[in-house]
Chain A
Amino acid sequence: MLSIFKREFKSYFTGVIGALFIAFLLCFTGIYVTSINLRGGYASFEYVLSNIIIVFLLIVPLLTMRSFAEEKHTKTDQLLYSLPMSVGEVVMGKYLAMLAVFAIPVLIMALYPFLLSAFGYMAYKSAYLALFAFFILGAALIALGMFMSSLTESQVIAAVISFGALLLMYMMKGVASLIPSDNLTSLICFGVLALIVGAVTYALTKNTAASVGIFCLLAAALIVLYLIKPEIFGGLFPALLTYLAVFDRFIELTGGIFDVTAIVYLVTFAAFFIYLTVQSVEKRRWS
């Protein structure tokens, strides 16, 4: 794992991607610090961070797009399969290398509260809590991007689908508020979700009976539930979407409250996508 980590970390800096990633994040932070803290006279670094999370939509795909797509494209993944190490170690080595690259600008950003304290009072605790949360949010999104990269052979496609997924998550709360919260709408939305689950099953296994079976089972369960107790569907789908709004979890943490559930949520999110990446890479061996 250490050897993979070292190679990956180094390769980010033999090319331009690592430097570009760091420069982009620092440049964005600098602009916002200037405008909010220095020009606006607003003594809150948390506020800057909550404003710049949109930059993740661009820099996360930049960082993650090549992780697995490039290996598949150049067929170097065969080397990784033939090495005496598990797929889990390979995935973790790559993931930690990306985290290490991400940690560099975050550490530089940690200087801001110090510098700003020259101009007045800084609430260090809430500023550093927000920066920590910013790092955890980034770690979760990088895991998502890595998974997207493991699905394709093309870096461009990996970048585009990562961007799309991140954009959807960024707008999730807005999307949720558009959906009516009555019982029937929720039922229909869950029905569509069941259909998607069935389609994904088919795409992965090419097994018609299993995917149709899964869809029918889910649909039947939903209808039965709806007939017995329709009121539980009230606002359930928008609630689910809100629950999946990763970016908003971070906003909760910038208020100066150390919300452990939000941290656990983000870490679980990252672990889930790391697991999916391992499965997706492992699957290639069975295809």
Chain B
Amino acid sequence: MIEVKNLVKKYGDHTAVNNISFTVEKGKIYGLLGPNGAGKSTTMNIVTGCLAASEGSVTVDGHDIFEDPKAAKKCIGYLPENPPLYGDMTPLEYLTFVAEAKKVKSGYLGSQVREVMEITGLTDMKDRLIRNLSKGYRQRVGIAQAMLGEPDVIILDEPTVGLDPKQILEIRELIRKLGETKTVILSSHILAEISAVCERVMIISHGNLVANDTIEHLEEIANRSNKLRITVRGDSEAVKARLETIEGVLSVDIDEVAEDHASFDIDLIKDRDLRDDIFFAMANMKCAILSMQFEQTTLEDIFLALTDENVRPDEDGNLPSVEEVLEARGKKDDTLFSHMSDEELEALANEKEDDQTEEDEAEPDVDVTEENTEKSEDEGYKPLFGGN
């Protein structure tokens, strides 16, 4: 439906959009997510033909937006960040004007205007001046305007900014309804909004596209936690030593030690639930578990990790994988693996393998030494390479 290739927009020396490429398929709701000033509005303005790009191309339904703008713009309904409304008109007059300007056939014009007013709930307000309408209703007029002319794609730039919670829910409901029949792209700097409405999310940071994934996949990554936090009553060193003997436990950190109990952060291997093993191990030691819970990676963490300064696509324009970014962030490592050369990556992978064999050979009963702890901490890298 929409194909964006190597889009670049420069304002003087400042690069607002840096080599963004993506495709938008028919009949889905897409979210464009990024912090303020990341380049969301610039991207949308270019895709809708309101702004010229410095480099790159945009094709809408096969029409190039720069070479064949009329045909391309006919397929798009656009609501810019500030709804472009004329305060001295009523919604009815305004929508009639836009419908005429979009060259809706005069036979359908009246019924189409009535239809979009019905969908957006504007019918009761149709004869009031737009400048007297509340922000929520103005936003609806803006959305109604974008729907006129039956475009296949509707692009909404921050459609819920400045609305009260009830209005936000109504607008979201409206967007979902639109998504049933049309392709919708909406931008937001609020993650919850995107995850509530969209099927796919594209995350933009500092003018770069850093992720293009389904919400489900991101949520799955977020839920795939392998960190367990437990509080146990008893001698902390003894508990730690016992915990480390459990098969599948990669490392144990003592987090807090109180009078008679301590908290531990446990790194587990992926895709296995070890809570039963831990429970029985503690039960055998007659140490009571006071609490046990998985540390949750939230979508918010993913978003923050991805919009970090250092996250960039590599030279070929390939996006960094979300797992990699999270691993790197978890280790507070400032470099991303995708930036490393092949040799460096191989060297790093070999190092980890060595550590792994050492760990496997180690005697379970051996006292935990400082060296050992550090090594097992390093194991945090392991899944990245093991998984690939």
Contacts and interface: CB of A to CB of B under 8 A. Distances in A.
Interface stretch (A27-35, A83-91, A100-108, A232-240): A83-91
A285 B50 contact: yes
Interface in A174-228: 206
A240 B74 CA distance: 47
Interface in A59-103: 74-86
A84 B145 CA distance: 13
Given A75-B82, A86-B70, A2 B50 contact: no
Contact of B73 (A2, A6, A76, A82): A82
Interface in B19-51: 45, 48-51
Interface stretch (A7-15, A128-136, A144-152, A242-250): A7-15
Contacts of B89: 7, 11, 14
Given A6-B97, A84-B103, A15 B88 contact: yes
Contacts of A11: 86, 88-89
Interface residues of A, number: 26
B78 interface: yes
Residue among A6, A81, A206, A285 with max Cβ neighbours from chain B (10 Å): A81
A78 B101 contact: no
B70 A84 contact: yes
Contact of A285 (B52, B87, B101, B102): B52
A83 B73 contact: yes
A82 B155 CA distance: 11
A80 B69 CA distance: 13
A206 B12 CA distance: 10
A72 B261 CA distance: 66
Given A7-B97, A85-B101, A78 B70 contact: no
Contacts of B87: 74
B97 A3 contact: yes
Nearest to A14: B88
A6 B87 CA distance: 16
Contacts of B145: 79
A11 B97 CA distance: 12
A4 interface: yes
B320 interface: no
Interface in B177-209: none
Nearest to B88: A14
B45 to A, nearest CB: 8
B4 interface: no
Contact of A6 (B86, B100, B149): B100
Interface in B76-99: 76, 78, 80, 82, 84-89, 93, 97-98
Nearest to B54: A286
Contacts of B103: 84
A82 B51 CA distance: 9
Given A82-B76, A82-B78, A285-B50, 8 more contacts: A10-B93, A15-B88, A75-B84, A78-B82, A79-B98, A83-B73, A84-B70, A86-B70
Interface of B: 11-12, 45, 48-52, 69-71, 73-74, 76, 78, 80, 82, 84-89, 93, 97-98, 100-103, 145, 149
16 contacts: A3-B100, A7-B97, A74-B84, A76-B86, A78-B78, A78-B84, A81-B50, A83-B102, A84-B71, A84-B74, A84-B103, A84-B149, A85-B70, A206-B12, A285-B52, A287-B11
